Structure 1
Amino acid sequence: MSRLLPDDGRVAIAVATTGTTPDACCAQARAAVGAGADVIELRADLLAAGPGSPCAAGPTGLADLAGELSAQSGGARVLVTVRTAAEGGGARLDDDAYRTLVRSLAGSLGALDDDARPAALDVESARGWTAGLVAAAHEAGLEAVVSRHDTAATPGDSVMLEGLRAMAGAGADVAKLAVMPRSARDVARLLAVTAQASEELGLPVVTMSMGALGAVSRVSGAVFGSALTFASVDGDPSAPGQLPIEQVRAGLRLLSARLE
C-alpha cells in the first residue's frame, strides 16, 4: 500500500506549492486541501533564500516546513521536491550538490515524528546515484518518487520506456516522467508508453505531457494508467499545462465512470 497515493486506487490529484515563503506555502496547501487535493507537493526549490528562510536553515529548515505542511494537510499526503533548474525548477545545483542536499534532506525528514513526516521525497534520476538516494529515502521512512522531466521535447518511445524501467530498477516506489510535446503524435506516444509501463513495471507510474497540447494527459490517467496528476488552485500552476483542480476532478470523474 502506497503512503503517497490513495488507498482506493483512484487517480490522485496533486497540487504543488509555488510560494516563496513558509506562510505562502501553508496557505496554498490549505487551499489545495479545501479544493480536494490528495497530495501536496512542497516545492522547496521555489522558496526564497535569505536570513530566516527554510533554505538558509538547510535541510533541517526544509524538513521543519515539510512537517508543518504535513500537520496541516488534513489527510492529504505530502511530497517534498527539490526541482533543479536543469529540469525546469528553481534549484541551481550541480549534480553533486543536488545529491548531497537530497541525501541530507532525507535524513532530516526521517527525524520528524511519524505524524509529521511527509509521505515521499522526489529523486531526479538524471542527477545520478539514484539507487543510493532511493535507499536514503527508504531508510528515513519515506517513499521515493523517482522522476525525469524533459522540458524541451518528447523522447523516443524506447527512451521513455527504458527510463521508467531504470527508475523501477533503482527501487522507486513511484516512477514519474514529464515531457514536452511538439505535436499531437508526441502526446499519443507518451500515453502509449504510459499504458505499457503501468502494465509492465509493477509500481505506480505517473506521466504527463506538458503545455496546452498535452492537457489531455492530465485527465486520462484512469484510461492509460497514470496514477497521479497535477492540478492548479487559484490560477497558480507549477508547470505549463496544468488545469484548474475543478476541471481535473470533473474530467477524472467522467472518464472513470466510463470504465465502470
Structure 2
Amino acid sequence: MIRVRDITIGEGSPKICAPVVEVTQEDILEEGEKLALSKGVDLIEWRIDFYDESSDISKILQTASLLRTVVGKKPLLATFRTKNEGGNKEIEESAYKDMLIAISESGDIDMVDIEVYFMDEKNTKDIVKSLKKNVVVVGSYHDFDKTPSYDEIIKRLCFMKSQGVSIPKLACMPQNRHDVFTLMEATQDFVSKNVGLPVITMSMGDYGKVSRVAGKSFGSAMTFGCLGKASAPGQINVDDLRAILNIL
C-alpha cells in the first residue's frame, strides 16, 4: 500500500484516475479544475505529451505549479507517454530524463510515470532511484497491438519491481475475451506473491472494459476513467465507473 496525500493506493476499492489531455495551458487548467471538483475522481493524471509546450521544461514546470493550485489536495500524476507506447509525441532520451527529474523536484507533482523499457536497464534504475526521493514512481509498459502471454506479463511486472518502481503498471490490447482473462489471471498471481506492492493493470478497448471495473477482484489497485477526452481506448466515464465500483 502507498499513501499519496489523502488516499491509499492498494487499499479498498481501486482508485479512479482521470487524465488531462488538453493542448494549451489554459485548457489544461480548466480541465484540471473540473476534475478536482468531481467526486468520482481520486487522482488526476496530466498527460504532458499532449501539451503544446512539452519541449520546454520551464513551461512544463510553470504549468505544473498552476495545475497544483487548481487541483488542490487531489494527487497529481505526471506522464509523458511516448509515441512508441501510444503517446502523442516522440522525445529524445536525454530530454525525457531531464524532464522527469525536473518535475519530480518541483514539489508540485505527487507521482511520476516512467516507461521502464524506454531507456536501458541501468539508466532506468538510476532515474527511478532519483525520482523516488521526491515522488511515487509508476513504472509502466503499454502494448496497443496485443496482449502478451501469461509468462510475459509476469516477466514484465517482475522486471518493473526489480527496477525499484513504487507501482508497476501494465496495459495491453486484447484480441479476444481470453486475452482479458490472461491479463487478470497473471495480475492476480503476481499480486498474491508480492503482497503490499500496489499494481495497476488493464486490458484496453471494448473487450477489456471489465478489467477497468473488476480490479478489486483480481488485484489492480487503480483504474483510469474520463470526464472529457479519453487517453486510451475503453476508458469509462468516471461517474459511471464510480457507480459500478460502489456496486461491486
Q: CA deviation at 1:5?
A: 8.0
Evaluate the alpha carbon distance shift between residue 195 and residue 4 of structure 1 in structure 2; reply closer, same or farther with a 3 A threshold: farther
Q: Is the 8 A contact 1:41 1:81 kept in 2?
A: yes
Match of residue 221, structure 1, among 210, 215, 225: 215
Q: What is the match of residue 21 of structure 1?
A: 24
Q: Distance in 2 between matches of 1:28 and 1:242?
A: 17
Q: What is the match of residue 3 of structure 2?
A: 2
Q: Are positions 1:42 and 2:46 aligned together?
A: yes
Q: Distance in 2 between matches of 1:102 and 1:76?
A: 25
Q: What is the match of residue 258 of structure 1?
A: none
Count of matched residue positions in the alignment of Structure 1 and Structure 2? 240
Q: Distance in 1 between matches of 2:141 and 2:110?
A: 19
Q: Distance in 2 between matches of 1:4 and 1:192?
A: 31
Return the letter of the residue paired with 1:17: V
Return the letter of the residue paired with 1:120: M
Q: Distance in 2 between matches of 1:5 and 1:185?
A: 37
Deviations along 1:82-128, whole A, 9 cap, x unmatched?
A: 101110001213xxx23x2232123322443x4xx211111001112
Secondary structure of the residue aligned to 1:16 is: strand
Q: What is the match of residue 246 of structure 2?
A: 253
Q: CA deviation at 1:200?
A: 1.9
Return the letter of the residue paired with 1:216: V
Q: CA deviation at 1:222?
A: 1.2
Q: Is the 8 A contact 1:5 1:12 kept in 2?
A: no
Secondary structure of the residue aligned to 1:2 is: strand
User: Given the two structures, how large is their TM-score scaled by the length of structure 2?
Assistant: 0.91
Q: What is the match of residue 82 of structure 1?
A: 80
Secondary structure of the residue aligned to 1:75 is: coil
Runs of 5+ unmatched residues, structure 1:
256-260
Return the letter of the residue paired with 1:163: R
Q: Is the 8 A contact 2:35 2:71 kept in 1?
A: no
Q: What is the match of residue 114 of structure 2?
A: 123
Return the letter of the residue paired with 1:90: N
Q: Is the 8 A contact 1:204 1:226 kept in 2?
A: yes
Q: CA deviation at 1:7?
A: 2.6
Q: What is the match of residue 98 of structure 2?
A: 104
Q: CA deviation at 1:29?
A: 1.4
Q: Distance in 2 between matches of 1:233 and 1:251?
A: 15
Secondary structure of the residue aligned to 1:69 is: helix
Return the letter of the residue paired with 1:162: K
Secondary structure of the residue aligned to 2:7 is: coil
Q: CA deviation at 1:217?
A: 0.5
Q: Distance in 2 between matches of 1:191 and 1:4?
A: 28
Return the letter of the residue paired with 2:152: V
Secondary structure of the residue aligned to 2:97 is: helix
Return the letter of the residue paired with 1:19: E
Q: Distance in 1 between matches of 2:239 and 2:23?
A: 24
Q: CA deviation at 1:14?
A: 0.5
Q: CA RMSD in A?
A: 1.7
Evaluate the alpha carbon distance shift between residue 205 and residue 75 of structure 1 in structure 2; reply closer, same or farther with a 3 A threshold: same
Evaluate the alpha carbon distance shift between residue 68 and residue 146 of structure 1 in structure 2; reply closer, same or farther with a 3 A threshold: same
Q: Is the 8 A contact 1:181 1:211 kept in 2?
A: yes
Identity %: 29
Q: Distance in 2 between matches of 1:169 and 1:5?
A: 28
Runs of 5+ unmatched residues, structure 2:
none
Q: CA deviation at 1:135?
A: 1.4
Q: CA deviation at 1:2?
A: 2.8
Q: Is the 8 A contact 2:200 2:223 kept in 1?
A: yes
Q: Is the 8 A contact 1:123 1:133 kept in 2?
A: no
